[in-house]
Amino acid sequence: MRSGFLIIDKAPGTRSSQCVALVKRALGGKERVGHGGTLDQPASGVLALLIGRATRASRFVMMLPKVYLAVARLGLRTDTDDLSGAVISEEDTGLVSEESIDRALFSLYGHRDQTPPAFSAVKVKGRRAHAMAREGLDVPLSARPALVTSIGRTGPIMAGRDVPLRIVCRQGTYVRSIVRDLGETLGCGASVLSLRRESLGPFAAPDALPSGDLATADASTLEGRILPFSSLSGSFTYYQASLADEGTIASGSPLSLGKLARRGWGGHGTGGYILIFGKAMVSFARVVHEDGVYLVRPVTNIILEGP
């Protein structure tokens, strides 16, 4: 079984952990299976599963930009910031115009501090926030950095209160929090009516395997859909290493950047990391400037061949 990325189109109501478990079972329980960022249970769309040695690339896949299609229901506050939770309040939205919505959306663009939903996987004093919230405990969540690189309506208000949105954001940004903050800016509250992740970096929903097919999928079917590490080459600036330099990198030692052959520029600004391909390994690395020389320092090496 080769290592790589298996892209799933998760259905609403299916847990991300269910997809991981089904794939692991189909592969005979012998392969490591991880993910590159979960989706809320009510949400649908792209879920990147990491197979075998690709599980070591999890943190880098999570850095990739995410594109979401969401519908925000104005005038509704819930304890989960979506329709799965208990209703806190409902308000009239008759005075909310599309112009005021567009102004409020503009205020949510860019770098900002965002408070995660109480029902989220964020850890508070060693415990998941959602576990504390379900026990009725107070969840003291602090605001944390978020980045929204694009946000806007995709159409007019529907049914007088539902706003279709397209949002492009980075790791750590919660769409439920964006919608909640949109509602508070408008003064009427808001919750997520529906949410779909259209893409995660180069991985897009039209190319994904529907999660409903996982229950009957066998190992050969899944193996045929596993994408190689080179599928990330459009997201990171990437280089090719010679066999000799590959050995230096594999040992964790720094290498002069000038010894590597650049093959492409990344388009996603992935945290300052570059990707280096060798014959038998892939390395996620950083470029540093020391004593007048640009050096490559390996951060995570993934050996593709051997034990």
* Catalytic-residue membership of 113: no
Task: Dig out the tokens for 184 from the structure.
Answer: 């508070």
Check: CB of residue 189 under 8 Å from CB of residue 89: yes
Q: Are strands 4-10 and 209-210 parallel, antiparallel or unpaired?
A: parallel
Check: CB of residue 35 under 8 Å from CB of residue 47: yes
Q: Where would I find the H helices in 108-206?
A: 129-134, 175-186
Which one of 40, 81, 162, 245 is the catalytic residue? Answer: 40
- Rounded to whole angstroms, the Cα distance separating 25 from 217 reads 10
DSSP string, 18-67: HHHHHHHHHTTT-S-EEESS---TT-EEEEEEEEGGGGGGHHHHHTS-EE
Provide the edge-to-edge strand list for the sheet that holds 273-277: 255-256, 293-303, 281-290, 273-277, 238-240, 261-264
Q: Which of 132, 111, 113 is nearest to 122 (CA)?
A: 132
The residues facing 152 across adjacent strands are: 166
- The one-letter amino acid code at 174 reads Y
Q: Which of 194, 261, 139 is nearest to 130 (CA)?
A: 139
Query: Angle at the Cα of 101 (from 97 to 104), degrees rounded to 5?
Result: 140
Q: Which of 119, 100, 5, 130 is nearest to 61 (CA)?
A: 5
Which residues are within 8 A (CB) of 64 and not within 5 positions of it... i.e. 6 or more apart?
36, 200, 201, 202, 203, 235, 268, 270
Active-site amino acid positions: 40
